[in-house]
Amino acid sequence: MADLNILHADMDAFFSAVEQRENPELKGKAVIIGGVSLSNRGVVSTASYEARKFGVHSAMPIAQARKLCPDGIYLPARHGLYKESSREIFNILKKYTPLVEKLSIDEAFLDVKGCERLYGHPVEIAKKIKKEVKKKTELTISVGVSVNKFLAKLASDFDKPDGLTIIKKDDVKSFMYKLDIDKIWGVGNVFAAKLAEEGVYKAGDIWSYSLEELKDKFGKAGVKLFFLSRGMDNREVKSQSEIKSISHEETFIDNISDQDKLFAYLFKMSEKVSFRLHSNSLKGNTIFIKVRYSDFSTYSRQKSLKVAVNSSEEIYQIAKTLLNKDNLLKKPLRLLGVGVANLCSEGKEQLNLFADEDDHLDQTIDELKRKYGFDKISRARKLYLNNDD
């Protein structure tokens, strides 16, 4: 039987909880954190649970939030403060296991296998983490405990705020059966609408489809859906030092020969890779690309650099050179991928005395993405793609 070794921990209403801690008068009130400037054209970073009762949520335009919750307290984001709390929280998590995979400023996966002798059963560890976070930071964290990453993440979300939810192997079936289909990773609005056309609303509704059927209908996304709808997920928790490379690839529904479109995709993917590198405070010395043609022949190319990089523009430019060099775009592509390997922690890399302004631009874009949600912000080049691309 699979053991309850995987934890997912996620701070509750993180930015607003920090503000409520800093100013106790805000406790119990509807607190809404906007961008740095809080203009009406900006969007909500997060809202306290009190504000969520009015329907306010992350990525909602501030103007709309003000209509829903006119008496709310609107505050600009203070990222330095949140980063400081985040550091404190991760220091606590790392005490219980070296296997902590950071997902964002306020959430992480932990694999606590083998830590029982020191810290007790995984549920005990979850309780200890909650208690210690509360004591040291005066903030609450929700923790999910289960047999894999996917289920642990669903569990931490199940009873927010200040939740502790355990999904045992024996409970997986009943838990998944009634789960809304859009709670499954990879099922966004477009996919959920397509599934609704088929009469699929809950994870259990997909169980009658065979793996082949789902693969034929939806390709790779269908395969993922088959397994995740049953609560099956075999991905391992990876600590930062174990991450060997960060990459992104896309298989196209129709093969693409239009170079401008391919470069637009390449840029979009470079941005995603850069965002994940920044989120993990990593840089890398090797850029690689991968292409696959309609006959499934696959080629990759890589370039090693003297200086580690993580800006989207650098990744994009080097990847583009690699694609152009051997005329790899001579035939239509079925798949395109880009990645960065030979990773090192930011700050520990060799100093590049000639670093240009691009890093700063990237950092600003990253901040905006964190604030506004990934797809809201992009440089003009990506506008070449449709929203669905």
Q: How far is the CB of 308 from ligand TTP (least distance, A)?
A: 26
Binding residues for ligand TTP restricted to 114-133, rule: CB under 6 A = none
10, 101, 233, 313: which one binds Mg ion (CB under 5 A): 10
- Residue number, 12 or 250, with CB nearest to Mg ion: 12
- Among 19, 101, 107, 314, the active-site one is 107
165, with CB counted inside 10 A (0-12, 13-18, 19+), is: buried
The nearest distance, CB 376 to ligand TTP, in angstroms, is 8
Q: Which of 5, 12, 130, 228 binds ligand TTP (CB under 6 A)?
A: 12
Distance between CA atoms of residues 319 and 316, nearest Å: 5
User: Of 4, 7, 9, 11, which lies in the binding site for Mg ion, with binding defined by CB under 5 A?
Assistant: 11
Is 278 a binder of ligand TTP (CB under 6 A)? Answer: no
- Count of other CB atoms within 10 angstroms of residue 33: 27
Angle between helices 259-279 and 358-372 (to 10 degrees): 80
Identify what 59 binds: Mg ion, ligand TTP, none; CB under 5 to 8 Å per kind. ligand TTP
Round to whole Å and give the CA distance between 130 and 364: 33
Q: Which residues in the 333-372 window bind ligand TTP by CB under 6 A? A: 370-371
User: Per the annotation, does 254 bind a ligand?
Assistant: no
Can residue 107 be called a binding residue for ligand TTP (CB under 6 A)?
yes
Selected from 45, 146, 270, 274, the binder of ligand TTP by CB under 6 A is 45
Nearer to Mg ion, 10 or 314 (CB): 10
Coil, helix or strand for 300? Answer: strand
Give the separation between CA 40 and CA 359, rounded to whole angstroms. Answer: 28
Please state, in angstroms and rounded to a whole number, the distance separating the CA atoms of residues 179 and 158. 11
The CA distance from 115 to 97, in Å, is 7
Told to check if 59 binds ligand TTP by CB under 6 A, we report yes
Is 163 a residue that touches Mg ion (CB under 5 A)?
no
> Nearer to Mg ion by C-beta: 106 or 362?
106
**Least spacing, CB of residue 102 vs ligand TTP, in Å:** 12
- Contacts with ligand TTP by CB under 6 A: the residue count is 18
> Per the structure block, which two tokens stand in for 207?
């169980």
Choice from 8, 149, 153, 160 touching ligand TTP (CB under 6 A): 160
Q: What residues form DSSP beta bridges with 102?
A: 108
Give the chain's radius of gyration (CA, Å).
22
Q: Which residues contact 295 (CB under 8 A, 6 or more apart)?
A: none
**Residue 370 interacting partner from Mg ion, ligand TTP, none (CB closer than 5 to 8 Å by kind):** ligand TTP
Q: Does residue 295 have a known ligand-binding role?
A: no
* Segment (H or E) for 361: helix 358-372
Cβ density class 85-111: b for 16+ within 10 Å, e for less = bbeebbebbeebbebbbbbebbbbbbb
Q: Is 107 tagged catalytic?
A: yes
**290 membership: H or E segment, kind and range:** strand 282-293
Binding mask 369-388 for ligand TTP (x = CB under 6 A): -xx-x---------------
Q: Which does 316 bind (CB under 5 to 8 A by kind): ligand TTP, Mg ion, none?
A: none
**Closest CB to ligand TTP among residues 299, 374:** 374
Nearest 10 degrees: Cα torsion 252, 255, 256, 257: 160
Residues labelled catalytic: 107
Binding-site residue numbers for Mg(2+) are 10, 106
Q: Provide the binding-site residues for ligand TTP, judged by CB under 6 A.
A: 10-15, 45-46, 58-59, 105-107, 160-161, 370-371, 373
Binding-site residue numbers are 10, 106
